[in-house]
Amino acid sequence: MKFSGSHILSISQFDRNDIERVFEVADRMVPYAHRQRVTKVLDGAILGNMFFEPSTRTRVSFGCAFNLLGGEVRETTGFETSAIAKGESLYDTARVLSGYSDVIVMRHPVSGSVAEFAAASRVPVMNGGDGANEHPSQALLDLYTIRKELQHQGRSDLDGLRIAMIGDLKYGRTVHSLCKLLCLYKNVTVTLISPDELKMPEAIVEQLREAGHTVQESDVMEGSISKVDIAYSTRIQEERFASPAEADLYRGRYRLNQAIYTRYCEPNTVIMHPLPRDSRTEANELDNDLNDNPNLAIFRQADNGVLVRMALFALTLDVADQVDKAARDVNWYTERRF
Ligand code: CP
């Protein structure tokens, strides 16, 4: 794909070379994200960061990534502080805000709304999650993390990957985008573990099968995570259910803790989760007793989000090859944290 000036709306836009390009640029962002070097390559540029659903990681890491490239961030959070609450259309909002920004990131509760917004925008728009549809930057950082974790184990290839996805696969947009991304690779075994009512949409299962992958579906976790490289847990997406009571029917159905991991998983199985994990007693899908397990990659995943989102900005705004030219060492105290 041509990155320069493009919207990033769906994983379907990417081919395997594009993914390699994103990962190669993300690798080069490490000294900046790790506070060893400072770049001003986006000095003067403005990100419009518009989040109409709750978010911690996506909103802050997109903003942080833009700041780390030298740009400034303007935010709108929630409908109640936006003129959308007064009846303004997505079309008008996009026309107006794209006059104030060089690039826009948007999260919205309705599937397809970010694409509708992008169609009216005069600047590139990135999808920070649209309803139950897609979360493309999350899938990119997930695959980037999988690649790094496997490299750490001495494996260089994503082909042949064995991954289990656990939880709410019907409404979980991160797993929808991740499945689409895995279709670019070869010979992947995907084990889909969910209650029957929350199964992965059939169209995505079909896409995986058409890519030549092995797809297994189960409603039981323990026996299904015994031969996987990656156990990818997800939250019950209660905001997509008709009522909290309906979500309660499924909350806590799958709980991974250290005892289950030790008993059922291979010793190197990497544990992932897009976060937030629901740590309330009634859910507790990833127990805190996994926090010292070296294969728990959830916080490395969140850190990698900054690298991947820096790469997306650098490519979309066409400065990927200028980042190092506009750089210097940091001159403040930086405690080791990565
Ligand atoms: N993974 C993710 O989308 O997290 P947030 O909802 O905190 O952005």
pLDDT tens for each residue of 67-78: 999 999 999 999
Give the pLDDT of residue 265: 98
**CA 52 centroid distance within chain:** 17
User: Which residues contact residue 102 at a Cβ distance below 8 angstroms, ignoring those fewer than 6 apart?
Assistant: 45, 46, 47, 71, 123, 317
pLDDT at 306 over 90: yes
Q: Which of 49, 52, 56 to mutate to test the pocket of ligand 1 (most atoms within 8 A of CB)?
A: 56
Give the pLDDT of residue 266: 97
The protein residue whose alpha carbon is closest to atom 4 in ligand 1 is 57
Give the pLDDT of residue 326: 84
> Ligand 1 pocket, 107 CB below 6 A?
no
**Active-site positions?**
57-58, 86, 107, 135
Give the model's confidence band at 106: pLDDT under 50 very low, under 70 low, under 90 confident, else very high. Answer: very high
On whether the CB atoms of residues 79 and 110 are closer than 8 A, the answer is no
Highest mean pLDDT among 76-80, 82-86, 319-323: 319-323
* Share of residues in the chain with pLDDT > 70 (%): 100
Distance CA 272, CA 178 (A): 12
Helix (H) or strand (E) segment spanning residue 206: helix 202-210
Give the model's confidence band at 329: pLDDT under 50 very low, under 70 low, under 90 confident, else very high. Answer: very high
Give the model's confidence band at 177: pLDDT under 50 very low, under 70 low, under 90 confident, else very high. Answer: very high
What pTM, to 2 d.p., does this model score?
A: 0.96
Give the pLDDT of residue 156: 86
The protein residue whose alpha carbon is closest to atom 1 in ligand 1 is 274
Q: Closest by alpha carbon to 104, among 62, 56, 44, 132?
A: 62
Sign of the Cα torsion 31, 34, 37, 41 reads positive
Give the pLDDT of residue 334: 82
Sign of the Cα torsion 155, 159, 160, 166 reads positive
pLDDT at 261 over 80: yes
pLDDT (average), residues 79-90: 93
> Ligand 1 pocket, 177 CB below 6 A?
no
User: Which residues contact residue 24 at a Cβ distance below 8 angstroms, ignoring those fewer than 6 apart?
Assistant: none
pLDDT, mean over the chain: 96
Work out the angle at residue 115's Cα, subtended by the Cα atoms of residues 24 and 278, and round it to the nearest 5 degrees: 70
In the reported structure, the alpha carbon of residue 56 is separated from the centroid of ligand 1 by a whole-number distance in angstroms of 6
In the reported structure, the alpha carbon of residue 306 is separated from the centroid of ligand 1 by a whole-number distance in angstroms of 13
Give the pLDDT of residue 336: 77
pLDDT tens per residue across span 128-166: 999 999 999 999 999 999 999 999 999 989 999 999 999
How far are the Cα atoms of 30, 180, 333, 338 from residue 106, in angstroms, in the given order? 25, 21, 33, 28
User: Which residues contact residue 28 at a Cβ distance below 8 angstroms, ignoring those fewer than 6 apart?
Assistant: 320, 323, 324
Give the model's confidence band at 33: pLDDT under 50 very low, under 70 low, under 90 confident, else very high. Answer: very high
> Ligand 1 pocket, 138 CB below 6 A?
yes
pLDDT tens per residue across span 310-320: 999 999 999 99
Per-residue burial over 238-250, b = 16 or more CB atoms within 10 Å of its CB, e = otherwise: bebbeeeeebeeb
Give the pLDDT of residue 210: 98
Distance CA 108, CA 102 (A): 20
pLDDT tens per residue across span 195-243: 999 999 999 999 999 999 999 999 999 999 999 999 999 999 999 999 9
Torsion (CA) 143, 144, 145, 147 in degrees, nearest 10: 80
